[in-house]
Amino acid sequence: MPQTADAPITEDKLHIEALASMGVPRTYRRGALLIQEGDTGDTLFVVLKGRLRAYLADASGRELTLGVFGAMEYVGEMALDGGPRSANVEALEATVCSVVSRATLLQYIAQHPEFALQLMARLIRRARLATESARSVALIDVYGRLVLLLEKLAMPANEHGHRALRERLTHQQMAHHLACSREMISRLLKDLENGGYIAVRDRWIHLLKPLPSRW
């Protein structure tokens, strides 16, 4: 199941801030492509403000979101091996990043070897998320993937037992998360709304009762 990016853990926050201070700040407009799959890259992007989305796309234009990254998170660490980029990365909104060269990153790791362990742990977490994403796309139908996404994004229930989502996603964004068409998402959400399972208020989805395991 594609998920939001892993939040920086407390012990590596200082390292990320230090790396960001060594890079060059750049501003990207919404929709700007920072990384293109297949290109050779040698830079790390630390988000200072805004959000980035990492995704895969096929020849037909269908997309699969791998993660969304906010302030003090980074993308592009795969540039460490000097190989081609493994995914696309775009700005979801106006975003400011600190662009850190591969040489600077390697120098920082040499000076702070403990950061290498934290970087490795993050790579492992992201690899596990990617594996889970591939498994859900291959083995779970679209409705099942939608339920997993809604449950993941749902906040704790209020006094009425209703759970709002943590963020407002468009149908197209959900389709990108689930590797399906926007029309399929719209139909499933409308069916759930008609069945009294969800309510949409100001384009914000609220879960009113447990979602059925099958539809």
Mean pLDDT in order along the chain per 10 residues (215 residues):
47 87 97 91 93 86 85 86 84 97 92 88 78 66 90 92 92 88 92 94 92 82
For residues 69 and 90, what is the distance between their CA atoms, to the nearest angstrom? Answer: 10
Determine if the pTM surpasses 0.75.
no
* Model pLDDT, residue 137: 65
* Model pLDDT, residue 1: 43
* Model pLDDT, residue 10: 53
For residues 60 and 168, what is the distance between their CA atoms, to the nearest angstrom? Answer: 27
Q: Is 21 exposed, middle or buried (0-12, 13-18, 19+ CB in 10 A)?
A: exposed
* Model pLDDT, residue 3: 46
The H or E element containing residue 198 is strand 198-201
Per the CB < 8 A criterion, the answer to whether 137 and 179 are in contact is yes
* Model pLDDT, residue 207: 96
For residues 64 and 134, what is the distance between their CA atoms, to the nearest angstrom? Answer: 10
* Model pLDDT, residue 139: 52
